[in-house]
Structure 1
Amino acid sequence: MKTKQRRLPRRVREQQLIDAAVSAFSRGDYHTVSVEEIAVAAGTSKPTVYHYLGSKEGIFTACVRREMERLVEAIRTAVRDPLHPTDEDPLRRGMRAFFGFVIDNRESWTVLYRRAAAQGQPFEGETLRMRDRVTDEMADLITTCTRGDYGALDPREAQLLARVAVSTADAFADWLLDHPDENPDTMAGHVTELTWSHLRPRRPAQV
């Protein structure tokens, strides 16, 4: 007599399917990866994949959204961690979490910044929207870090600095993956130093 398998909650099943899809898309681009390949990797059928995630476009979009959410959460958690030393630069903590995520989740990074951007719309637009969320997180963090030392920081200036930080981090991420001798903390130090260098000229002279 067959044992009836326990039905997994929908959310759990969706996450398992996205796991399989992220892995598949990291190995091949959007056009070469088939839904059947994703189904096999997940140990299920094509109809099941379509049932939970919709079309192939929907599958890829779900991958981009989830992995970006994970990246944003990793940065947010590191910045707000009460166990970190209070004298450590929160921006550096956030950047270190960013680079740590890239190292620990190479497949995610490949899907987010290599596969999605290369496919054009609608995936490029999805990536840009999610990337703006990271920039907004950085802008809020920069505004908080600069209170008292640099005077009131204009929101536009905070956004520009955040874009400098995020764009630099993007470029350094590929370098980090290609150079195993580098590490997330060193890369975070470079990005933080470059970001703060734009503000030093306006810092009041020490008496």
Structure 2
Amino acid sequence: MLDAAVTAFARHGYQAASMDDIAEAAGVSKPLVYLYLKSKEELFTACVRREVAALVAAVREGTRQRGLSADQQLWNGLTAFFAHTAARPDGVAVLYRARTRGEPFSREVDTMRIEVVVIVTALLGQAARDAGCAGKLAEREVSGLAHALVGAAESLAEWADSRSRTGLSGAEPSPDAPSANETAATLMNFCWAGLENLMKGARWVPGVGSGSAVARGPHGP
């Protein structure tokens, strides 16, 4: 039933998705749908929670292997994230619809983002400490980088999904679709290059000039 509902909500949106069509696709009666979930709102919330839990579980599993460097764990987590979203494009669409629809659905997606940000912050903070950076860097700038990285990952997942389909129906696979590894590498190059400069004390300073990454001390300007 949830599989059918995720597909319907992803393809038609919250308002246009029909409970009759969802019941038919699931092979159950409409009263049975309402027996388990008393309204369309409850059904949509159940779909969002399932997709949130599955995505967070994929990221946790990807970063679970110990004994690896922080950047390797982050790489594993990102590839797991993008492999999961590529395998479940309807789930990505449902989370996007929940995020843009507002309360109470967006709160469920915010919960997922917070959990993933905690994981990423810990890894970036560990990388900073391993490089001998002051704790202030891990607490302030690494926290900001973690939030930026998670937001970028969500956006890239939607971009990768749009690139994976061709044709008017969007059902034909595209030969130009990026792989999970390629998408993860794009984000790692974007994030890790910036973090590496911060760990070396090189910061971009506005108004100094083109391409000006200025070396500063561990506590900033």
**Alignment-mate amino acid for residue 68 of structure 1:** V
State the SS of the aligned residue for 2:75. helix
The code of the aligned residue for 2:85 comes to V
User: Taking structure 1 as reference, are residues 97 and 196 closer, same or farther at Cα in structure 2, changes over 3 Å only?
Assistant: same
Q: 1:137 aligns with which of 119, 126, 131?
A: 119
Would you say 1:192 and 2:188 are equivalent positions?
yes
User: Structure 1-normalised TM-score?
Assistant: 0.80
Distance 2:107 2:68 in 1: 37
Gaps of 5+ in 2: 165-175, 202-221
Structure 1 CA distance for aligned equivalents of residues 82 and 184 of structure 2: 7
Stretches of structure 1 that go unaligned for 5 or more consecutive residues are 1-16
Letter of the 1:73 partner, please give it: A
The number of aligned residues is: 186
- The answer to whether the Cα contact below 8 Å between 1:35 and 1:46 also exists between their aligned partners in 2 is yes
Per-residue Cα deviation, 1:148-185 (whole angstroms, up to 9, x for no partner): 21423433433211111111112222221233422111
- Note the C-alpha offset of 1:131: 1.9
Greater relative contact order (Cα < 8 A, sep 6+):
1
The answer for the alignment partner of 1:110 in structure 2 is 93
Q: Tell me if the contact between 1:21 and 1:60 (Cα under 8 Å) persists in the aligned partners.
A: yes
| 1:161 matched to 2:157 | no
Deviation at 1:141, TM superposition (A): 2.3
1:61 to 41, 45, 52: 45
Aligned residue among 16, 19, 23 for 1:39:
23
Q: Quick check: which one's strand share is greater?
A: 2
- Which runs of structure 1 show a deviation greater than 6 angstroms over 4 or more consecutive aligned residues? none
- Counting aligned pairs with the same residue, the percent is 37
Q: For residues 4 and 27 of structure 2, what CA distance do their matches in structure 1 show? A: 9
- Is the Cα contact below 8 Å between 1:100 and 1:184 reproduced in 2? yes
User: In 1, distance between residues paired with 2:197 and 2:114?
Assistant: 27
